[in-house]
């Protein structure tokens, strides 16, 4: 059996509460299968999350653990976060 040793997944938060977030995960590059749905603990995110928040799950070396990385919040000096 072959195990995926390195990868980058692109994720988006669909919804969340104080404990868990429901997210969509896509391969990079995108494949025909469409997004996978997952439930992740909010504590796995190193940033504030909200509906529509983009993040990445990254594993670059075989011996590394997968890491959640949040997308940068600023775009041309403006904050991209939506107001609730």
Domain assignment of residue 72, yes or no: no
Domain assignment of residue 81, yes or no: no
Total structural domains in the chain?
1
Q: pLDDT value at position 84?
A: 42
Q: pLDDT value at position 32?
A: 73
Domain assignment of residue 44, yes or no: yes
Domain assignment of residue 65, yes or no: no
Domain assignment of residue 38, yes or no: yes
Range of the domain at 43: 1-60
CA of residue 79 relative to chain centroid, distance: 19
Distance, in Å, from the CA atom of 74 to the CA atom of 81, rounded to the nearest integer, reads 9
Mean pLDDT by 10-residue block, N- to C-terminus, for the chain (84 residues)? Answer: 80 97 88 87 96 95 92 66 50
Domain assignment of residue 68, yes or no: no
Domain assignment of residue 47, yes or no: yes
pTM here is: 0.78
Longest pairwise C-alpha distance within the chain: 47
Q: pLDDT value at position 15?
A: 97
Domain assignment of residue 18, yes or no: yes
């Amino acid at each position: 059996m072959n195990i995926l040793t390195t990868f980058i997944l692109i994720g988006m938060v669909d919804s969340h509460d104080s404990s868990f977030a429901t997210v969509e995960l896509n391969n990079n590059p995108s494949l025909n299968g469409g997004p996978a749905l997952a439930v992740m603990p909010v504590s796995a995110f190193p940033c504030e999350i909200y509906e529509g928040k983009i993040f990445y799950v990254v594993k670059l070396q075989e011996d590394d653990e997968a890491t959640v990385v949040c997308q940068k919040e600023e775009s041309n000096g403006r904050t991209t976060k939506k107001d609730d």
